[in-house]
Structure 1
């Protein structure tokens, strides 16, 4: 992959991460703090919805975002021809090059 294409791949990866972090922060802040009074009247079981979002909602959204990020990055990897290196048992993780060892 040439350098320009790699920069585009990395830019799209970073934009995806930023977008997901903004979404996570928005859900955590908006649903549990800013909308606390309106959501207090709505209950999830016996717990006010604002409390539920503050305690559980943001974690559930975060886990869903992890799966979404993984799925989206798989698509992006295929689009740009990027793949992970598969190591065999005989492939050392740290290069055994004599010049590197010095």
Structure 2
């Protein structure tokens, strides 16, 4: 489907008032942000739990470090990631001229 016929209401990336180069820059920055957030998420969702046994040899605040990172650290990181991703995406959208406001 060509860019001119894409319906913006149907999940398209058409943004009125910006050129093709600006759309490509916007998409590149959005894609890089998404990849970065997913990498951090994957580390705390998969890598740390897989290595929890080795991390449990270290103590943190009286708890085994692997346990503490998975139970407390992962939840904290996930919440921070949500707010960070939304904050950065809003800034990227505003810089490209496609923000909500």
- Shorter-chain TM-score bucket reads 0.5 to 0.7
Which residue of structure 2 aligns with residue 13 of structure 1? 30
Question: Does 1 or 2 have the higher relative contact order (CA < 8 Å, sep 6+)?
Answer: 2
Aligned residue pair count = 84
1:43 aligns with 2:59: yes
- The runs of 5 or more residues in structure 2 that have no matched partner are 1-17
Q: Which has the larger radius of gyration?
A: 1
- Looking at structure 2, the residues matched to 10 and 30 of structure 1 have their Cα atoms a distance apart, in angstroms, of 28
Which residue of structure 2 aligns with residue 53 of structure 1? 69
Contact 2:26–2:92, Cα closer than 8 Å, also in 1: yes
Q: Root-mean-square deviation (CA), in Å?
A: 2.1
Which residue of structure 1 aligns with residue 47 of structure 2? 30
Q: Which runs of 4+ in 1 moved over 4 A?
A: none
- Looking at structure 2, the residues matched to 33 and 75 of structure 1 have their Cα atoms a distance apart, in angstroms, of 35
Using the size of structure 1 for normalisation, the TM-score is 0.66
